[in-house]
Structure 1
Amino acid sequence: MQGLGWLAAIIVGGLAGWIASNIMKADTGLFLNIVLGILGAVIANALLGVFGVNFTTGSWLAQGFAGLIGACILIWLKRAIS
């Protein structure tokens, strides 16, 4: 989440992780929601960058959307591996 400061990245990441855990019906805590959202945003931005979509300088909403997509991907991958 390059376009956001640390505090904003934690807030947006936590919200994105929480929404993703509700969508995917995952039972995760606050800390894991934040981690999922932030890592999810990094992963989603990298994947979307391959297709020419750039959310790194976007708004909180764009970063939240990227975090949501990435967090859902991470939850899905964890389930696929388990």
Structure 2
Amino acid sequence: MGLFWGLIIGALAGWIAGNLMKGQGFGLLGNIAVGLVGGFLGGVVFRLLGLAATGLIGSLIMSVLGAVLLIFIVGKVARR
């Protein structure tokens, strides 16, 4: 069941981040990938800042913030 919720949160986080950063999503698989990597990145950043995200909403917020950061970094690197 944890894998199922992880994929759902990843897809939702990737879609939200895609809409926030460039106005569109990345497709289902792209949203899941961006959301999952963003969740990992968000977890690292949250730990470095001494923050914790618990529950479904906390995981979603952390994943969205991480995915936004991921899209920002990839956008900056890709422009070079």
TM > 0.5: yes
CA RMSD across the alignment: 1.4
Number of residue equivalences:
77
Match of 1:74 in 2: 70
CA distance in 1, matches of 2:25, 2:5: 24
Any stretches of 5+ residues in structure 2 without a counterpart? none
Question: Equivalent residue for 1:37?
Answer: 35
Task: List alignment gaps of at least 5 residues for structure 1.
Answer: none
Q: Which contiguous aligned blocks of 4+ residues in structure 1 show a shift greater than 4 angstroms?
A: none
Q: How does 1:2-81 map to 2 (within 5 A)?
A: 5-25=2-22, 26-55=24-53, 58-81=54-77
Structure with greater helix percent: 2
Deviation at 1:12, TM superposition (A): 0.7
TM-score (norm 1): 0.86
**Bigger relative contact order, structure 1 or 2, given CA contacts below 8 A and separation 6+?**
1
